[in-house]
Structure 1
Amino acid sequence: MNTFGNSHIIKQIATQSGFDYCGIARALPLDEDARRLETWLNKGYNGNMQYMENHFELRINPQKLVPGAKSVITLLLNYYPADIPTAGRDVPKISKYAWGNDYHEVIKAKLRSFIEEIKLRIGDVHGRGFVDSAPVLERAWAQRSGLGWIGKNGNLINKQSGSFFFIATLIVDIELEYDDPLAKDFCGTCTKCIDACPTNAILDNRVVDGSKCISYYTIELKDALIPDNMKGKFDNWMFGCDVCQDVCPWNRFSSPTTETRFTPIPEILDFTKENWEELTEESFKKIFRHSPLKRSKFQGIKRNLKFITKA
């Protein structure tokens, strides 16, 4: 089977596996992205996220991450919910990606079946799949495989469907037909995401100061108090933040996900402010056992809740 045929099979399997988009790029060192990442780290934009400094060589070179790597397959999975709570409710806000089951669990299961099906239909293919849990610059690979461009808010934006996507990466040891990188940026002169960011975390030249991002404070910042100078700036966000995506004009093309496991947990849509304040650790563990919220743990959610209600 030639590279074109194999690529066609892989994209067929991606669709059958429930992924919304699939793009393929040649596995090469990401030299330009390496320079950008080094500058970003040197300026301390990763805050307390020390893991961003680890395995630098693996992040920028897929052949060091997966020996013998020849191709990088990027998969997008839409998570935009069908049910959106009525605006104006005085309740703690949660980023849309966390409304249903933990995407790590959902996508890892999809990747396992995806890889097995590739082996069944193509043959002896070796590789590794990743979803937000390894040193992979997934947005760079998505752009290189023609799936979108990196917007001013740092998110991958797809021209047909916006930015409410999870990105999964599969690095394999076979040559494939490669998609053309998306060379054009369609943000133009729009600055809506920059203007709307509550903490001024979005800088010029598609740089996001992670150490100022609400998602960083509410999820990544562990065992520490949120700085007082952030009081009154969180706009009621308790876990993550969607402001820069909600204002993005390209997200008018977002459509509801077909992945049933991303169906919002009823409590996410129905809880009042009082429900959150009265939540016990036992109830938290039961209700959110399959939710991304468990990443912040009960104490982290309580800390965030206290911070936004006392602001």
Structure 2
Amino acid sequence: MHISDKSTWIKQKALSLGFDHCGIAEATSLDEDAFRLEKWLHQGKHGSMQYMENYFDLRIDPRKLFPGAKSVITVLKNYYSSEKNPDPNAPKISKYAYGKDYHEVIRKQLKTFLEEIRTEFGQVEGRGFVDSAPVLERSWAKKSGLGWVGKNGMVIHKGAGSFFFIATLIVDLPLGYDAPAVQDFCGKCTRCIDACPTEAISNNKEIDGSKCISYFTIELKDQLIPENMKGKFDNWMFGCDTCQDVCPWNRFSKENEELNFQPISEILQFTQNDWDELTEESFKQIFSKSPLKRSKFAGIKRNLHFLK
């Protein structure tokens, strides 16, 4: 099979397995991204996320993360949902956390993806990564032509918006590669910058992670949320979608078709009082397969208390 035909087959297989978009790039060093990441870390914009400082060399070169790597296959999986809790006073939760933990869902799909590639092309070695390893997913999405990085730091697909999980499958199989996304279609729009409740977005596409609501409500572990953030969370209890909700490109977002991402009923039904009365036992039972378990019961209670 010709190398371009292999790439076509892989993209079609990705769609058949439930991914929404697929692009392929050569496994090379991300030199420009390395410079930006190093500067961002030196400025302390990762807050207490010390893991961002680890494995720097592996983050910028997939060949060091996976020796023998030839190609980086990047897939996007839609998680958009238009459903909302009808109670306007209920604490808000980011759409990505409506259903089951995406790490588990996508990890299984990547495993199947690699098995299908092996069945078709013989012994292919590879590793799949879903937001839990030193991989610059957004850089690979851009490098494989799937979209540009918007001012809010999200990868934006021109025809489908930004409500996507990004995952990568690094393989030792040479393939035909897509042209990188070079044009930025954000233009002069500053809606995400203007709407950010904590002013975490600057006009040079730089996100101050230490100011982001998602950082405070998810990443900040075993610490109190700084008092100077009081009254700025716009009732976001877990994560924040503000910069995506106001983005004009998300008018193209469509409902996701992944059964595992269908909202847990309590997320759309719980009132403020329900959340206040939630016990640790009930939390573990209801959200055992949810991304909310990442904050743990104590973290959720801390976030709820901070919103009052």
Q: TM-score range by the shorter chain?
A: over 0.9
In the alignment, is the contact (CA less than 8 A) between 1:149 and 1:156 conserved in 2? yes
In the alignment, is the contact (CA less than 8 A) between 1:82 and 1:257 conserved in 2? no
Tell me the TM-score normalized by structure 2.
0.99
Match of 2:67 in 1: 67
Match of 1:108 in 2: 107
> Which stretches in structure 1 are left out of the alignment for 5+ residues?
none
Report the AA paired with residue 31 of structure 1: D
| Cα displacement (A) at 1:123 | 1.1
| Cα displacement (A) at 1:54 | 0.2
In the alignment, is the contact (CA less than 8 A) between 1:234 and 1:308 conserved in 2? yes
In the alignment, is the contact (CA less than 8 A) between 1:27 and 1:71 conserved in 2? yes
Match of 2:282 in 1: 283
Tell me the TM-score normalized by structure 1.
0.98
Q: Which runs of 4+ in 1 moved over 3 A?
A: none
Report the AA paired with residue 53 of structure 1: E
| Cα displacement (A) at 1:170 | 0.6
For residues 176 and 263 of structure 1, the distance between their equivalents in structure 2, rounded to whole angstroms, comes to 35
| Cα displacement (A) at 1:83 | 2.4
Structure 1 residues 35-92: Cα deviation after superposition (integer angstroms, max 9, x where no partner): 0000000000000000000000000001000101110000000000152334x71010
Report the AA paired with residue 137 of structure 1: L
For residues 95 and 5 of structure 1, the distance between their equivalents in structure 2, rounded to whole angstroms, comes to 39
| Cα displacement (A) at 1:108 | 0.5
Match of 1:194 in 2: 193
For residues 260 and 83 of structure 1, the distance between their equivalents in structure 2, rounded to whole angstroms, comes to 14
For residues 204 and 15 of structure 1, the distance between their equivalents in structure 2, rounded to whole angstroms, comes to 35
Q: Indicate the SS of the match to 1:22.
A: strand
For residues 253 and 24 of structure 1, the distance between their equivalents in structure 2, rounded to whole angstroms, comes to 23
For residues 261 and 132 of structure 1, the distance between their equivalents in structure 2, rounded to whole angstroms, comes to 18
Within a 5 Å distance, the mapping from 1:10-89 to structure 2 comes to 10-86=10-86, 89=88
| Cα displacement (A) at 1:5 | 1.5
Match of 2:262 in 1: 263
For residues 85 and 225 of structure 1, the distance between their equivalents in structure 2, rounded to whole angstroms, comes to 27
For residues 123 and 206 of structure 1, the distance between their equivalents in structure 2, rounded to whole angstroms, comes to 42
Report the AA paired with residue 255 of structure 2: P
Within a 5 Å distance, the mapping from 1:1-311 to structure 2 comes to 1-86=1-86, 89-309=88-308
> Which stretches in structure 2 are left out of the alignment for 5+ residues?
none
For residues 299 and 186 of structure 1, the distance between their equivalents in structure 2, rounded to whole angstroms, comes to 41
Q: Indicate the SS of the match to 1:152.
A: coil
Q: For the aligned residues, what is the CA RMSD?
A: 0.8
Q: Indicate the SS of the match to 1:120.
A: helix
Report the AA paired with residue 300 of structure 2: I
For residues 62 and 41 of structure 1, the distance between their equivalents in structure 2, rounded to whole angstroms, comes to 20
Aligned residues: 308
Taking every aligned residue pair, what percent have the same amino acid on both sides?
Answer: 67
For residues 194 and 82 of structure 2, the distance between their equivalents in structure 1, rounded to whole angstroms, comes to 27
